[in-house]
Amino acid sequence: MMSTEILLLGAMLIAVTGVVQAASVAFSLPQTFVVSFVGILFGALFLAMHAWLPEPALAFVDPVVAWPLSADMCLTLFLPPLLFQAALSVEIREMLGDWLPILILAIIGVFVATVSIGFVASWTTNVPARDGLLLGAIIATTDASAVLAVFRSVTAPSRLVRLVEGESLLNDAAAISIATVLLEASRSADSVSRTVAEISQIFATEFGGGAILGMVVGRMLAWGLVHLGGEGKAELTLTLAVPYPLYILGNEFFHVSGVVAVVTAGLVISGLGRARLTPRNWSHLQLMWEQVAGIAGTLVFLLATIRVPGLLRAARASDALALGAIIIAALAARLAVLFGVFPSVSRLGLSNTVTRSFRLVITWGGLRGAVTIILALGIEGNAALPEPTRRLVSVLATGFVLFSLAVNGSTLRPLIRFLGLDHLSPQDMALQERAVGIAGAEIDALVRASARSLRIDPNLACDAIDAYHDSTSLDNFLRSDDIATTDEDRLTAGLLALARREGDLIPRYGNGIVAVENLDRMIANAAAMTEAVRRGGRAAYRQAAAQILQIRWSYRAARWIHSWLKLSWPFSCALQNRFELLICRRAVLEQLHRYTETSLQPLLGPETTKTLSAILHGRMDRTEHAITEMRGDFGHYTRKLERRMLLLVALNAGRDRVEHLYRDQSISSEVYESVSRDFMRAWRNAIERPEFSADDE
Among residues of the chain, what percentage have pLDDT more than 90? 27
Give the range with max mean pLDDT: 4-13, 201-210, 255-264, 462-471.
255-264
Do 48 and 107 belong to one domain? yes
pLDDT at 675: 86
Task: Render pLDDT for 136-185 as a digit per residue (tens, 0 to 9).
Answer: 999 998 887 778 777 877 777 888 888 888 888 888 888 888 888 777 76
If asked whether residues 310 and 330 sit together in one domain, one would say yes
Query: Which residues, at least 6 apart from 514, have a Cβ–Cβ distance to it below 8 Å?
Result: 580, 581, 583, 584, 645
**Percent of the chain residues topping a pLDDT of 70:** 88
Q: Does residue 622 share a domain with residue 533?
A: yes
Per-residue pLDDT, averaged over 361-370, amounts to 88
The answer to whether residues 331 and 206 belong to one domain is: yes
Distance CA 634, CA 165 (A): 48
One domain for residues 443 and 312: no
Least confident of 195-199, 328-332, 356-360, 604-608: 195-199
Q: Is residue 636 included in any domain, yes or no?
A: no
Q: How far is CA 499 from CA 260, 519, 602, 612, in A?
A: 31, 15, 18, 12
Determine if the pTM surpasses 0.95: no
- Cα 68 to Cα 61, 299, 377, 381, 693, distances in angstroms: 12, 14, 10, 8, 68
Q: What does pLDDT average to over the chain? A: 84
CATH code, domain carrying 153 = 1.20.1530.20
Same domain, 50 and 130: yes
pLDDT per position as a tens digit, 517-557: 899 999 999 989 988 988 888 999 999 999 999 988 989 99
- 319 and 256 within one domain: yes
**pLDDT attached to residue 14:** 84
Last residue of a domain, one of 362, 383, 418: 418
Q: Which of 232-246, 424-438, 600-614, 652-666 is the least confident region?
A: 424-438
DSSP secondary structure, 498-554, as one string: HHHHHHHHGGGGTTTTS-HHHHHHHHHHHHHHHHHHHHHHHHHHHHHHHHTTSPPHH
- Are 389 and 408 found together in one domain? yes
Residue 441 sits in which domain range?
Answer: 426-482
Please give the pLDDT value at position 600: 86
Whether the CB-CB separation of 353 and 127 falls below 8 Å is answered with no
Q: Which of 261-265, 292-296, 386-390 has the lowest mean pLDDT?
A: 386-390
663 vs 644: CA distance, rounded Å? 29
Number of C-beta neighbours around residue 137 at 10 A: 28
Instruction: Write the pLDDT tens digit of every residue in 272-313.
Output: 998 889 888 999 999 999 999 888 888 888 877 887 887 777
- pLDDT of amino acid 332: 95
Residue 482 has pLDDT above 50, yes or no: no
Q: Which residues contact 311 (CB under 8 A, 6 or more apart)?
A: 394, 395, 398, 399
Confidence of residue 484 (pLDDT cuts 50, 70, 90): very low
Give the tens place of pLDDT for each residue, 35-55: 888 888 888 887 777 667 676
Contact call for residues 641 and 580 (beta carbons, < 8 A): yes
Q: Is 641 within a domain?
A: no
Backbone CA torsion sign across 56, 36, 183, 173: positive
pLDDT for the residue 262: 94
Task: Convert the pLDDT of each residue in 56-112 to its tens digit.
Answer: 666 666 666 666 666 677 778 888 998 999 899 888 887 887 889 999 998 899 999
Pair (405, 347) in one structural domain? yes
> Cα separation of 681 and 674, whole Å?
11
pLDDT digits (tens, 9 = 90+) for 565-611: 888 888 889 999 999 999 999 999 999 999 998 888 887 888 999 99
Same domain, 473 and 386: no
